[in-house]
A and B are shown apart, each in its own frame.
Chain A
Amino acid sequence: MGVKKPMNQLQTRYEYGGDEFVFVQLSEEMSLEANFKGMAITRELKQRELPGIVDICPANASYMVRVDPDVLHPEELIKELKDIEQKMADLDHITIASRLVDVPVLFEDPWTHEAVMRFRDRHQDPESTDLEYSARVNGYDSKEAFIEAITSAPFLVSMIGFVPGLPWCFQMVAREKQIEVPKYVRPRTFTPERTFGFGGAFAVIYPVQGAGGYQMYGIAPAPIYQKEQTLPDFRDSMVFPQQGDIFRYRSITREEYDQIRSEVENGTFVYRKKDFSFTPQEVLEDPDAFSEMVLRRLYHD
C-alpha cells in the first residue's frame, strides 16, 4: 500500500516546555504511524505510574507530559521516555483498545450554512460554499462525491483538545486518498455548537459554540460534550470521545436529524458503538480492508 514506513525513520525531538513540561515531537507531518506510536508510548507511560507525573497529553504526531520537577526531573523523564520509545520501536506487539462509533452528521444544514455565508469575506473562495471549495481543491467532481469520500471510510480520533471534548479525527485511508483543506484565511468569530468541520488533514466536531477556522460542512445532532451529564454516554465524563476511538461519520437526512435531536432532548440518545481492539499493523498494511472490516463490525456483526 505504500503507507508502511519503518518507525525509525520518524524524527523524534525532545524539548522542554519551561520547568514543568516535556514536549516530544514524533514527526513533523501527520501520519497514522506517528499517532499510533504516540498512543503506545503515552499508554505505556501511564502504566508505569511514575511519581511526579502530573498530566499526560497525547496529541496527533507528538505528546506532552507535565511533571512536578521537584519529584521527577525533566531530564530523568526524558531518559524514561527514550527508553519507552526504544521498546516501542516496532509496533508489532501493540494492541489498541478502542471503540467503534457511528457519528451521524447532517451535511449542508441550515445552521452552519448561515455561518458559512456570514463569514464569506474571511474565506479563500467567497463565491463557493466551504463544501464546494473543499471538494474542488481535493479533486472531486461534486460535493456529493466529496461527502461520499468522508463518509465511506472511518476516522481515528487522534487527539482531544483545543476545548474540552473536541476530537481531531484523521481518516484511516492511504495517504494518496487523504483529504487536506486549508483553514479560513482569518478565523471566524462564530461557529455553531456541534459543527462538523475540516481543517488541515483533520475532521472535527466543535463541542461548544465559539471561534473557529475550520471549513464547515454540516452539523452533528448528538453532542460530544455534555456538562450536565444527563445522557447515558456521558455518565462517567462530560467528554465522549477518547483518543484511539474510531468514528464513522454517517450522512443523515433532516428527518433523522430531528429524530436524534428529540432523543437527545428527552435524554434517551445513545451512540451506536462497539468495543474493539486492533493493531497498528492491521491498519497500516491494508487500510481499505481494515475500513471495510470496521464498518461490518459496527453495523452488522
Chain B
Amino acid sequence: MIKVIKPGLQTTVQDQGRIGLYEIGMPPSGAMDKFSYTVGNLLVGNQRNAAALEITYLGPVLQFGRKLRISITGGNIPPKINGQPVAMWETLEVQEGDTLSFDFVQSGARTYLAVEGGIDVPVVMNSRSTYTLIGIGGFQGRALAEGDELAVGDMHEKKVPVGTRIDPSLIPVFQKTHEIRVVVGLCSYRLTEESKAVFLESEWTVTPEANRIGYRHKGERLKFVERQQPFGAGSNPSNVTDLGYPIGSIQVPDGVEPIVLLHDAVTGGGYATIATVISADLNRMAQIKTNEKVKFVSVTLEEAIGARRNLRDQLMKIADAI
C-alpha cells in the first residue's frame, strides 16, 4: 500500500496505454516518456506493461506501507527517502513507513516512479492508464489527491538486486532547447511553401498550454494555400473535412501557434495536420517545459524508423544488463 501525503502538481497512474480504440474516439493515454517508464519497470523486475506513477514538474510526497523495491526515472526531479537524497535510474528499496519526496525540478518535466509489482488499479479497456477528460482508468479516473491509498499489484517477473544501475551513457540528458524530429506530411499540402520553410526554420517557444493533451508553441504565423474551401470543411483556411489526428501530429489552427497533440488528445477534428513527431521523440517531447525552445527537424520515414530501432536496441541492452 502506498499512501499519498501530498499529490504533487499532477501525478497519474500510467502504463503503455489504451491502444487500438481510435474507432470509438478513445485516445491512447499512457506514459508520455515511454523510454523512462520502461526503464523504470525493468529496474524493479516488472512486466513491460505494469502501471507506474507519472509525476509532473512538482513531485508528490508518498508513504510506503511495506518493504518494496522501487525506481525513479525520467526528468530530474531529485528524489529523497526520509529526507535523504537518493539516486535516480537505480533499483532502490524502501521500508515500511518510509516517505518519498522530491526537490524542485532540475531538468525535464516528467518523472516515473515504478514499484515492484506495479500500481494496481482496475483495468479499463486493457489499460490502467488515467484519462482524466472523461474520468476513466488510473485511480478513480483522476490525478492523485491527498489521502489516496494505492494498492500494489503482482506484475512482477524478476527479482532485481538493490543498487542495480543502468549504463550512464544510456541515461537521457534533458536540455532547455530541443530538436524534435518530424515527418512532414498528412495535410502539409495546405501550407504555402514559404510557411513550410518557416515552420522548420523557426525556434518555437513552448506556451503554458503544455500538458498530456498537447503542447502549444508561440512563433511566427503560418499561411495556408488559398482555395475555395471544400464542402464540409469549414470556413477557416486551416480547416479540413474532419479527420483523424495521429499521436504526435501537429496542427496550426488559423495559422497561429502550432500544437503537437499528445497522448490524451482529441482523436480527430477539423484542423489541417502538417507533420508528425516521430515515435522516438515523443519521449523527449514529454520532458519539455513551458518557455523552453523547440525546433522541428524534418526527417524521412526511414530515419524515423531507424531512430525507433535505436531506442528499442537501447532498451534491449538495458534489459540484458539488468
Which residues of A come within 8 Å of B, CB atoms?
A: 13, 15-21, 23, 25, 27-31, 54-64, 66, 69-70, 73-75, 159-166, 168, 170, 175, 178, 180, 182-183, 199-202, 207-208, 210, 225, 227, 237-239, 243
Contact = CB atoms under 8 A, between A and B. Distances in A.
Nearest to A227: B136
Given A16-B185, A163-B134, A182 B241 contact: no
B271 to A, nearest CB: 11
B122 interface: no
B242 interface: yes
Contact of B19 (A55, A170, A178): A55
Nearest to B26: A164
B266 A162 contact: yes
Nearest to A201: B232
Contacts of B243: 23, 25, 59-62, 64
A64 B247 CA distance: 11
26 contacts: A16-B183, A17-B183, A18-B276, A19-B183, A19-B280, A23-B185, A55-B22, A60-B241, A61-B232, A61-B241, A62-B243, A64-B246, A70-B308, A70-B312, A161-B25, A161-B244, A163-B267, A165-B25, A175-B231, A183-B270, A199-B234, A200-B270, A202-B242, A207-B134, A208-B134, A239-B26
B242 A168 contact: yes
Interface in B240-266: 240-244, 246-249, 266
B21 A55 contact: yes
Contacts of A60: 232, 241-243
A61 B244 CA distance: 10
B246 A23 contact: yes
A237 B187 contact: no
A17 B305 contact: no
Contacts of A162: 25, 266-269
A238 B137 CA distance: 13
B81 interface: no
Interface centre among A18, A28, A60, A239 (most CB of B within 10 A): A18
B268 A161 contact: yes
Could you tell me the dominant secondary structure of chain B's interface residues?
A: mixed
Given A59-B242, A60-B243, A29 B232 contact: yes
B100 interface: no
Given A15-B186, A227-B135, 11 more contacts: A13-B189, A18-B276, A25-B243, A30-B231, A54-B20, A56-B22, A61-B232, A183-B234, A199-B234, A201-B232, A238-B136
A165 B23 CA distance: 9
Nearest to A13: B189
B321 interface: no
Contacts of A20: 246-247, 279
Closest 5 CB pairs of A and B: A30-B232, A29-B230, A18-B276, A161-B268, A57-B22
Contact of A59 (B19, B135, B268): B268
A19 B25 contact: no
Given A57-B22, A59-B243, A18 B277 contact: yes
A202 B232 CA distance: 7
A20 B268 CA distance: 16
Contacts of A28: 230, 233, 240-241
Contacts of B186: 15, 17, 23
A66 B231 contact: no
Contacts of A74: 301
B133 interface: yes
Contacts of A58: 23
Given A57-B244, A163-B266, A200-B232, A17 B23 contact: no
Interface in B295-322: 301, 304-305, 307-309, 312
